[in-house]
Amino acid sequence: MPCTKYLGIGLLLLLTACATPKPQPETVDTAAPTEAPDSATPDSATPAAPRPVTPNPYAAQPEPDDPAARALLLKANEAMAEQAWGKAEPLLLQAIAQAPEYSGIYYNLGRVYHQLNRPAEAMLRFQNAIAVNDKNIYAYNALAVLKREQGDFSGAETLYKQALNIWPDHADSHRNLGILYDLYMGRLHEALASYQAYQALQEQPDRLVTAWIVDLERRLPAPSSELETTPVEAP
């Protein structure tokens, strides 16, 4: 009877582990540079109030004043929303010619090239965005995704950390860094810390990230103080 009991518990744990959704590779931030917290909260969770968030340094950059550039950007954003990447490319190139000092245009053009599977051009445009404004955390994240896709995990890690040095409260940088540690670098303790930092910035706990945290805690070894020890007989 005890064996049957333990067999049943083991099977239940195995099924639970298999049902845990795994984190997916990180994606480039969308055009809107704001996070949209998941409003759903697990029934058993009592969400803690998020800690105060510092202002986003990149948000201080003004929009281009040139009316022609703004009109081109509007059309390009509409094309990108429709995933008409080939249509957005010439509009953004024209916008750069009108307002070359605006980092966000280069970032959006990099996103277009990424979608068109032109990684070298995408990387150049993300680098342009950072050169024009070194506080463009979205360009750092997008460039990190390209580095990760090329197998340069150390380079991706550096870029995420640079973004967090600029704005420690950028939730997506914490999440993306956690995914990098979890799926690609096998640094599970650091992945857990990154996921927890991401959750601390949410109005309500992100249900998916909550599942990732539970899965990580299950896979991590227990602290030495919690491990059972076997008495050693004295000789």
What is d(CA 124, CA 95) in angstroms, rounded to the nearest whole number?
A: 17
Q: Kindly state the tokens that stand for 28.
A: 């480039």
Sign of torsion, CA 172 173 176 181? Answer: negative
Q: Kindly state the tokens that stand for 219.
A: 């896979």
Residuewise pLDDT in 10s, the chain (235 residues): 444 444 444 444 443 444 445 555 454 433 222 232 233 333 333 345 456 789 999 988 777 788 999 999 999 999 999 999 999 999 999 999 999 999 999 999 999 999 999 999 999 999 999 999 999 999 999 999 999 999 999 999 999 999 999 999 999 999 999 999 999 999 999 999 999 999 999 999 999 999 999 999 999 987 665 545 444 444 4
Q: Which domains does the chain have, with CATH numbers?
A: 61-134 (1.25.40.10), 152-218 (1.25.40.10)
The DSSP 8-state label assigned to residue 32 in this structure reads S
The DSSP 8-state label assigned to residue 168 in this structure reads T
